[in-house]
Amino acid sequence: MDLGIAGKWALVCGASRGLGFGCAAALVQEGVNVLVVARRPDVLAEAAKELRELAQDYRGTTPQVLALAADVTSEYGRQQVFAQHDSFDILVTNAGGPPVGDFRDWDRDMWMQAVDANMLTPIALIRATIDGMAERGFGRIINITSSAVKAPIDILGLSNGARSGLTGFVAGVARNPELASRNVTLNNLLPGKFDTDRLANTLAGMASKSGNSEDDVRAAQQAVIPAQRFGSPAEFGAVCAFLCSQQAGYLTGQNILLDGGAYPGTF
């Protein structure tokens, strides 16, 4: 299916690895020009190289791949983004998730960091891009959040809290008739367990804490997912690209869970 978005411009955050990279790759394969942002220049340069190779394979006009090493959670980082390219049709918000722990240990600074990265940064990026999208009559905003928004996990309290704030904000903006009637949609993608560096680090931490091998921890985690495996960044990116498509113009204000069937509820 042609998603009808070739030639559009996308800003994809946290795109040097993992789910953000999966989204950038899927968009480039649809002929979308991308500005990919992540903090580490070396990892980002490798990612940009891979994306440019994918761009060469696109059957139409080769999409552009711009890369910027910046921290999107800082005001300065966001200024650098818009200095590089100032108008976007597609926005994929993403940054590292907050640490796990016991809520008794989290002070105001830790909460502010989590709220900054996982709520206020996406809101700032939405604010900076959405009116231009509405003026041009096309906009797709995807926030990478977490299955923890739907099924909270106690040790992920910083994530549960901060991302729920973003989810409530997005639900309201998505239903603003001035935006929805101008073909601007906002949706959240909720990853369950995906095979990324972040998940590998979590599994390594669980292994060292329990004394079990990493392979055993991985197998035990996969066994409780009906799909019996973790998702891949490419699968995640494909759903993201569909949400960015022309065809998905009537889909807005939704929280889409991608978890191999792990969430046990009917809805």
Rule CB under 6 A: is residue 71 a binding residue for ligand NAD? yes
What is residue 29's DSSP assignment?
Answer: T
Give the one residue of 140, 193, 243, 257 binding ligand NAD; rule: CB under 6 A.
193
Rule CB under 6 A: is residue 161 a binding residue for ligand NAD? no
Rule CB under 6 A: is residue 197 a binding residue for ligand NAD? yes
Give the one residue of 20, 63, 122, 161 binding ligand NAD; rule: CB under 6 A.
20
Return d(Cα 118, Cα 100) in angstroms, integer: 14
Region for residue 81 given its phi and psi (left: phi exceeds 0; alpha: psi -120 to 50; beta: otherwise): alpha
Rule CB under 6 A: is residue 31 a binding residue for ligand NAD? no
Return d(Cα 199, Cα 181) in angstroms, integer: 38
Of 32-40, 84-92, 123-131, 244-252: span binding ligand NAD (CB under 6 A) = 32-40
Among the listed residues 4, 71, 66, 68, the one whose alpha carbon sits nearest the alpha carbon of residue 31: 4
Rule CB under 6 A: is residue 16 a binding residue for ligand NAD? yes
DSSP character string of 154-223: GGGHHHHHHHHHHHHHHHHHHT-HHHHTTTEEEEEEEE-SB-SHHHHHHHHHHHHHHT--HHHHHHHHHH
Rule CB under 6 A: is residue 38 a binding residue for ligand NAD? yes
Q: Which amino acid is at 192?
A: G
Rule CB under 6 A: is residue 218 a binding residue for ligand NAD? no
Return d(Cα 212, Cα 201) in angstroms, integer: 15
Contact pattern from residue 109 through residue 148 relative to ligand NAD, giving x for each residue in contact according to CB under 6 A and a dash for the rest:
-----------------------------------x-xx-
Rule CB under 6 A: is residue 96 a binding residue for ligand NAD? yes
Return d(Cα 43, Cα 113) in angstroms, integer: 23
Q: How far is the CB of 18 from ligand NAD (least distance, A)?
A: 2
Binding residues vs ligand NAD (CB under 6 A): 13-20, 37-40, 71-73, 94-97, 144, 146-147, 191, 193-194, 196-199
